[in-house]
Structure 1
Amino acid sequence: MALTKLVQLENFRKRSGSETSVAKVLSYSYASPLLSSPLLSSPQVFNCTQLDDLLEVYYLSPLYALEFCLGFPGNLLVVIGYVVCLQEWRSINIYLFNLAVSDLLFLCTLPRLSWLYANGQKETSPYACIIRRIISYFLHVNLYSSILFMVWVSVDRFLLIRHPTRNHFLLRPKVAMAVAGLSWLAINIQVAPLIVLMFQDMQKAINSSRCTDFASLSGDTNSFGYSMGLTLTGYVLPFLGLCLSSYNIARLLKVQDAALQRRTTSYKRPLRVVTAAAAMFLVLYSPYHVMRNVRIASRQEWSGMELCTRMYIEGLYILTRPIAFLHSVINPVFYFLMGDQFRELLFAKFRQLLRKTGRQRGAT
């Protein structure tokens, strides 16, 4: 029994990245009357240390598979629709297309993640672990590219309301392409330090077959400081940009309504869509970023947290991860609501294909 507990606690210490010795953890465990009981010690250790494993198998794996099944067809349809249907690309189409491509690439990684978590994250070779690290990189690039491109979409809608004739230079397609390219560059620069953390973690756990996520990486780089900085630049600032765009659109529509008593409701649709996008990112992203930073902080020496406290924090962090990535499933709704005539063109293409198929069947 004691040997089993020793092995379990040692495995936890390696996975959590803590420098706390096994002897110190054992001294805490046996100091508690509840844990020192021969009857209750084993269930207590299991309930505490195995919580994350249970969540990964029975929560992360099925939810990632479900998100792939729901999100992949919609984003694929949008990407194909933009390529096939659009004759004239406007600035908003460029932003939405980049957003759809980002979501589609991320969704392609979910089957692998689902299988990985269903099998205990065990990898059979270092090369497989490198693939897992690449998936994690794509995951974070998608996380921050989604909200950033949604900011440019909201800015585009504000400028279109203010300049209906599209005479503003930011509404030009070439400028939008340049903005999209610079956005991808900025996002990759933001996420690049994660590569350093990944290699440092791989060097420390060179004999391990388990590949951990961002919040469980251990290395010489200050992961907590980097996570806080990434939260600020990748999430908080773009979210404030979304809120500012919503406010400016609302203020502009109010001025226009006062000047023109008869205003069609179509002008107010961008306000509702941008506000809905801001609410979506607030609800989906905030719990993830809060718990990611708390999870990383709990692994630091200065936190002084006990074994089970850290495990419960990790469990809460695991719960927020699929919620954060739901944006890839919801985003196609915004493509249909905000794309200029995209929905009409896509439906027209479908009707054309159906008529062509019907004629072919009639001919045979």
Structure 2
Amino acid sequence: MNKSTAQLMTMCTNNTNITTNASCHVDLLQGLAYSALFLLGVLVNAAALHAFIAKRDSWTDTHIYMFNLAVADFAFILFLPFRIYDAFFCLPKTTFCTFLMYMHFINMYASIMTMTAISVQRYLVIRFPLQARFWRKKKAAAFVVCLFIWATLLMICAIFRKENYPENLWTCYERCKDQPLKGQFIGILICLGFLTPLVIIVFCSSQIICILTKTDNKSEQRKSIVYIVTANMIVFTVCYTPIHVAFLVNYLYTPPPNWQSVSVPPHVYLLVSEWIAATNCCFDSISYYFLLKRFYS
């Protein structure tokens, strides 16, 4: 390894010892974008949680999955004020930033995995209606699946906890552009965190649409279910595809030596795609809770 390469690799680490203002810049657009998302997210997710808690005596397995999704989305929203503050005033780079970054992504992937479970459950109910109706352990199975989701995500974060330590951060919510995530971590995020859920959701949604459109009983209710399932599939793809493409691009991209003073396109794309992914927490409430509850109540 030559001297210049070694200096580049240690550049970000040495920056940790510099004052916070050295790498601090006000990102007005990002702050306003997340502020709008926070306000809308609080309203729709609080209403969704209230609706589910009010009906807790008549919960089914579907309600358990949806409540878990509501918890993940609402927890995601509750941590957004820290990101908004960092965009306007800059948080100091400490282990608290590591915690905030992992909370951001734990809740995002908890939402992704729960949506996958809902798609599978919805497909089984429509594909095998009689078996699903008389299976008595549906609620217990749903509870176990939700626990498994959270346990798996916490375990992955514990294994790769050093990936977002302060010495790897340029700001509280941004990694150094010259220190990408490990290839194993990227592989888990893309393959297990996105591609596998995407394939499952597309398969289950397509099967549901085929089953409901081929039936002779094409009532308004069935047509509505087809529209909702289609919309959910499209929203999932649109919200989560950009950020996982950004993960891969940033891993493969080699930033210029003066990356601190220039705008690196793949990094800008990553920031935009993170906001796009974050908007899904609002779409979840609208589609899964308020539209679907008329069919699963």
If the TM-score is normalised by the length of the shorter chain, which range does it land in? 0.7 to 0.9
Cα-to-partner distance string for 1:189-209 (whole Å, 9 max, x where unaligned): 33434412123xx3x47xx99
Cα distance in 2 between the residues matched to 1:167 and 1:146: 26
SS at match of 2:133: coil
Structure-to-structure mapping, 1:1-364, within 5 angstroms? 14-15=11-12, 57-119=27-89, 121-123=90-92, 129-165=94-130, 166-167=132-133, 169=135, 172-199=138-165, 202=166, 204=167, 210-213=171-174, 216=177, 218=179, 223-255=182-214, 257=215, 261-298=216-253, 303=254, 305=256, 307=258, 311-334=264-287, 335-339=289-293
> How far apart are the structure 1 equivalents of 2:146 and 2:229?
19
Deviates more, 1:267-276 or 1:75-84: 267-276
- 1:182-236 per-residue CA deviation (whole Å, 9 max, x = no partner) reads 122223233434412123xx3x47xx994353575849xx623421331111011
CA shift digits 1:288-342 (9 cap, x unpaired): 11122212332xxxx4756468722212222222111000121111211122567
Query: What is the one-letter code of the residue matched to 1:153?
Result: I
Return the index of the structure with the highest Cα Rg: 1
What's the TM-score once normalised by structure 1's chain length? 0.67
Matched-pair contact (CA < 8 Å) for 2:45–2:285: yes
Shift of 1:252: 2.1
**Structure 2 match to 1:361:** none
* Cα distance between partner residues in 1 of 2:230 and 2:24: 37
Q: Percent identity?
A: 20
Instruction: Name the CA shift for 1:12/1:116 in 2 (closer, same or farther; >3 Å).
Output: farther
Distance 2:291 2:246 in 1: 32
Give the conservation status (yes or no) of the 8 Å contact 1:141–1:187: yes
Q: 1:162 to 1:311 in 2, by over 3 A?
A: closer
Structure 2, unpaired ranges of 5+: 1-6, 15-21
One-letter amino acid matched to 2:174: D
Q: Supply the RMSD in Å over aligned alpha carbons.
A: 3.2
Q: CA deviation at 1:262?
A: 3.4
Contact 1:151 1:241 (8 Å CA) reproduced: yes
Deviates more, 1:328-337 or 1:153-162: 153-162
Query: Closer, same or farther in 2 for the Cα pair 1:225/1:97, shift >3 Å?
Result: same
Distance 1:101 1:286 in 2: 23
Counterpart-to-counterpart distance in 1, 2:136 and 2:196: 20
Change (3 A) 1:150 1:83: same
For 2:75 and 2:270, how far apart are their aligned partners in 1? 24
1:161–1:212 Cα change, 3 Å: closer
Report if aligned partners of 1:79, 1:97 keep a CA contact under 8 Å in 2: yes
TM-score (norm 2): 0.81
Count of residue pairs the alignment pairs up:
280
How far apart, CA to CA, are the structure 2 residues paired with 1:268 and 1:215? 48
The Cα shift of 1:239 comes to 0.8
- In structure 2, C-alpha distance between the alignment counterparts of 1:230 and 1:170, rounded to whole Å: 34
Contact 1:95 1:180 in 2 (8 A): yes
CA drift of 1:269 comes to 3.0
